[in-house]
Amino acid sequence: MKYVVQLKGVDVVQGDRKVLQAVNLHISRSEFVYLIGKTGSGKTSLLKVLYAALPVYQGQGMVAGFDLAALNRKTIPLLRRRLGIVFQDFNLLMDRSVEQNLFFALRASGHKDKVAMERRVAEVLEQTGLEGYRPVKPHLLSGGEQQRLAIARALLNKPELIIADEPTGNLDPETADDILLLLRDLARENDSAIILATHDYRLLEHFPARIVRCIHGRILDDQDIRIG
């Protein structure tokens, strides 16, 4: 079985505080995983470890074929090209159009072939239902459309892993459902794994999937409970 994420005995440290200890986590290709827990329980910090915004000091960690403990300033961007990251607040460039946001992201990750870039932008716009919005500035889009653009941006590099941190947190329930279904469908189409942090337990009821919980400084994985 090919794992996109393999963490073994990893301590998650934020500043001088150990947020989570001895984390063991494995995520396979095309797998959908919820990450839940109270505010301050370590969800976002764990996600930051996965995209190398926080270092690994203790334990072993592999993400998309990269050894997290061996990363440096040159290799971190290479790891992130294999990831798609979606945030709650979208992080869009409001002074640029939908299309320009996507081209900017491609150039920032090292792409130079204009024809290939145009082809990929067209593909992700079609996948996310934004084909007709190319010239529109993000501030003219609805919240759901802005998140669709953020998802389109996350898909650009055909990621092995999509990391979504509260992607539906600013959306109404109906729009949140649409975004979750879109993420699940796109992850399946692109053979990407997805780990989605959320406070919205309604999503867990309506769209069941494997659940990983951050609780009392530890990780509790429903998969392990079922096996045990």
| Percent of residues, the chain, with pLDDT higher than 70 | 97
Taking CA atoms, 202 is separated from 35, 182, 205, in Å, by 14, 17, 5
* pLDDT at position 226: 53
Q: Locate 217 and state its tokens.
A: 């400084």
For 107-162, how does the pLDDT look when each residue is reduced to its tens digit (9 = 90+)?
A: 998 899 999 999 999 999 999 999 999 999 999 999 999 999 999 999 999 999 99
Q: Is residue 66 part of a domain?
A: yes
Domain-embedded: residue 150: no
The count of structural domains within the chain is 1
Residue 152 lies in a domain: no
Question: Does 101 fall in a domain?
Answer: no
pTM score, two decimals? Answer: 0.91
Q: Which residues, in sequence order, are bridge partners of residue 86?
A: 164
Q: What confidence score (pLDDT) does residue 39 get?
A: 87
First to last CA, the chain: 20
Residue 186 CA: distances (Å) to CA of 16, 129, 134, 142: 38, 12, 20, 20
Q: Report, as an integer, the average pLDDT of 79-103.
A: 93
Q: Between 2 and 176, where is the model more confident?
A: 176
* 37 within a domain of the structure (yes/no): yes
In a domain, 112, yes or no: no
Look at phi and psi of residue 195 and say left if phi exceeds 0, alpha if psi is from -120 to 50, else beta: beta
The answer to whether residue 119 sits within a structural domain is: no
Please count the other Cβ atoms lying within 10 Å of the Cβ belonging to residue 78.
14
63 found inside a domain: yes
The parent domain of residue 175 ranges over: 3-91+158-227
Q: What is the pLDDT of residues 9-40, one digit of tens each?
A: 999 998 889 999 999 999 998 899 999 999 88
pLDDT band of 228, cuts 50, 70, 90: very low
Q: 171-199: per-residue pLDDT in tens? A: 899 999 999 998 888 888 888 999 999 98
Specify the CATH number for the domain of residue 50.
3.40.50.300
**Does the pLDDT value for residue 1 go beyond 70?**
no
Residue 216 CA to residue 65 CA, distance in Å, equals: 30
User: 219 is written with which tokens?
Assistant: 């990780």
* pLDDT of 91: 87
Residues 6+ apart with CB under 8 A from 85: 51, 154, 162, 163, 164, 165
- Name residue 4's amino acid: V
Quick one: pLDDT at residue 31?
92
Alpha helices per DSSP H over the chain: 43-50, 76-80, 98-108, 114-127, 143-155, 173-189, 201-206, 222-227
